[in-house]
């Protein structure tokens, strides 16, 4: 039978385990704060992407409505109402027409005034603000 051995103090392994546990407890609030801040930035970026997606889709739909209107009437429509088109919530559409073509821009109330999208068709001076589309029918955005 073994004699009872009494130990005084900690073994090095126990000290290491305790040190890791203490560091984890001290670091945990900082990790949660970082994660929350990072999540907030991600949510903001996701919202911005959603606004751009809404503007892009609205201009693509506007383009399709204009093509149908032109095929039926032989002129481009100068307003959303004339096209029976309704933009997404928060999206403002501007349309400029001529006998040779049209362009439209989209902005979102949640974004800055220098941010938005544009599209054009035909032989018309293309919009310079908020962005100039590179080719007819291609929606271009500031982001």
* DSSP strands (E only) in 6-139: 91-97, 101-108, 117-122
The parent domain of residue 114 ranges over: 12-141
Q: What is the pTM of this model?
A: 0.69
102 CB neighbour count, 10 Å cutoff? 23
Question: Is residue 111 a part of any domain in this protein?
Answer: yes
Above 90 in pLDDT, residue 97? yes
Number of domains making up the chain: 1
- Residues 101-120 have pLDDT tens digits of 999 999 999 998 899 999 99
Q: What per-residue confidence (pLDDT) applies to 33?
A: 57
Q: What is the mean pLDDT of residues 26-32?
A: 65
Mean pLDDT of the chain: 84
Q: What per-residue confidence (pLDDT) applies to 113?
A: 85
Question: Is residue 6 a part of any domain in this protein?
Answer: no
Determine contact, residues 136/121, Cβ cutoff 8 Å. yes
């Amino acid at each position: 039978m073994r004699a009872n051995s009494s130990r005084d103090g900690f073994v090095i392994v126990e000290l290491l385990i305790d040190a890791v546990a203490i560091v984890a407890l001290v670091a945990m609030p900082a990790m949660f704060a970082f994660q929350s801040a990072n999540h907030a930035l991600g949510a903001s970026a996701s919202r911005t992407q959603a606004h751009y997606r809404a503007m892009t889709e609205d201009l693509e739909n506007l383009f399709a409505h204009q093509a149908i209107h032109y095929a039926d009437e032989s002129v481009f429509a100068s307003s959303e109402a004339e096209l029976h088109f309704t933009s997404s919530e928060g999206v403002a559409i501007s349309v400029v027409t001529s006998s040779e073509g049209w362009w439209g821009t989209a902005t979102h109330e949640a974004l800055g005034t220098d941010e938005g999208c544009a599209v054009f068709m035909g032989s018309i001076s293309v919009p310079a603000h908020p962005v100039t589309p590179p080719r007819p029918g291609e929606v271009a955005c500031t982001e």
